[in-house]
Amino acid sequence: MNTKDNKQNRVLVTGTMAFDEIITQSASSGRVIGGAATYISYSSSFFSNNIYVSSIIGNDFPLSFLEEMNSKGISTEMIEIAKEKKSFFWKGEYKNDFNTRVTHDTQLNALELYKPNLNKGLNDFRLVMLGNLEPGIQMEILSQVRNDDKFIILDTMNYWIDKTEKKLFEVISKANLIVINDEESKMLGKSDSLQKCAEYIMSFGPQYVIVKKGSEGAELFSKKQKSVIPAFTIKKVVDPTGAGDSFAGGICGYLSSRPKINFLEIHNSMIYGTVIASFCIQEFGVAGLQKLSAENVNERMLTFNEYLL
Ligand code: AMP
């Protein structure tokens, strides 16, 4: 499924690269590598070898991990290293059989210093995936991308909706597709109806909204159409962290491999996103994605497609 390396289908992925500490009802992860850009780029790499990550890491982040990303066809040359700072850190806990996530700690650390500067000559992208990050930085990155026909996918999180809602709506107005979870869509849309929230968000500019509903799957809205995709059921969930980012990464990677992006292709991309996310939640952190092969993805795609029919 890998696309040929040419300018026409370059993908820019931005978001946090982080250390996470995750507590579930049965185990604790200790410090593991996480972050939105990490999950997204790994997941996209199953469909494209033309992924460029723009992010920042601290002095504690293992450089061997960047080498591993390179080995998967992910370019890390735009990842900055803040020598005086630690990496972004997030600590979360899952309760009620993974239905509730509580954030215990968010330390911005290196992210506070992040001033994106897309390398000259590397600012022409067909698809821009704005993963979870401070909306001002998302906006700055967008302003540096040259291609006027770029397709922009945006993700965000309750943390930024609480802190920077006004700035976030500026980025929303630039995006083509928003991927958010049900709780976040209700925060943004100020309604209990997902349909009304999606309509409200689309009134700012985006043509498409995907609302993720965890184990209940996801819904896709445009002004004229709607579709629903169930989740792929996993018997033993270990850690749902990164499921949303892996879902978005699968969507982004799949769309980058398609000649046109429209409602049907976005619907199809959600099937790939769902399958990738189902592997992510089988292990703590990115471990489930690190050992994943294209064969594993294709095999599960067949099972999921049979289920959908
Ligand atoms: P997800 O489970 O898909 O929502 O994504 C979890 C990832 O988001 C973790 O690896 C965290 O490091 C990262 N994360 C947590 N809080 C934030 C935040 N406020 N901004 C950006 N990334 C975050």
Closest residue (by CA) to atom 15 of ligand 1? Answer: 90
Cβ–Cβ < 8 Å for 286, 33: yes
15-39 CB burial, b ≥16 within 10 A, e <16:
bbbbbbbbbbeeeebeebbbbbbbb
90 lines ligand 1 (CB under 6 A): yes
Within a domain: residue 1?
A: no
Distance 18 CA to ligand 1 centre (A): 8
Atom of ligand 1 nearest to the CA of 244: 3
Closest residue (by CA) to atom 12 of ligand 1? Answer: 35
Distance 306 CA to ligand 1 centre (A): 32
Residue 2: the pLDDT is 43
Within a domain: residue 124?
A: yes
Beta strand extents in the chain (DSSP E only): 11-14, 18-23, 28-34, 51-58, 74-75, 79-82, 88-95, 100-107, 127-130, 151-155, 177-181, 208-212, 218-221, 226-229
Q: Count up the domains in the chain and report the number.
A: 1
Helical packing angle, 243-256 and 36-44, nearest 10°? 40
Distance CA 190, CA 129 (A): 25
Pocket test for ligand 1, best of 106, 155, 157 (most atoms within 8 A of CB): 157
Domain ranges, residue 172 = 7-308
Within a domain: residue 2?
A: no
Distance 36 CA to ligand 1 centre (A): 5
Residue 8: the pLDDT is 72
Tokens of 66: 């960047």
pLDDT in tens, the chain (309 residues): 444 456 678 999 999 999 999 999 999 999 999 999 999 999 999 999 999 999 999 999 999 999 999 999 999 999 999 999 999 999 999 998 898 999 999 999 999 999 999 987 788 999 999 999 999 999 999 999 998 899 999 999 999 999 999 999 999 999 999 999 999 999 999 999 999 999 999 999 999 999 999 999 999 999 999 999 999 999 999 999 999 999 999 999 999 999 999 999 999 999 999 999 999 999 999 999 999 999 999 999 999 999 998
285 lines ligand 1 (CB under 6 A): no
Please tell me the pTM assigned to this model: 0.96
243 lines ligand 1 (CB under 6 A): yes
Helical packing angle, 263-280 and 294-308, nearest 10°? 120
Within a domain: residue 51?
A: yes
Within a domain: residue 201?
A: yes
Cα-Cα end-to-end distance for the chain: 23
**Closest by CA position to 285, among listed 225, 251, 241, 227:** 241
Q: What is the CATH number of the domain that holds 225?
A: 3.40.1190.20
172-191 CB burial, b ≥16 within 10 A, e <16:
bebbbbbbbbbbbbbbbbee
Atom of ligand 1 nearest to the CA of 241: 2
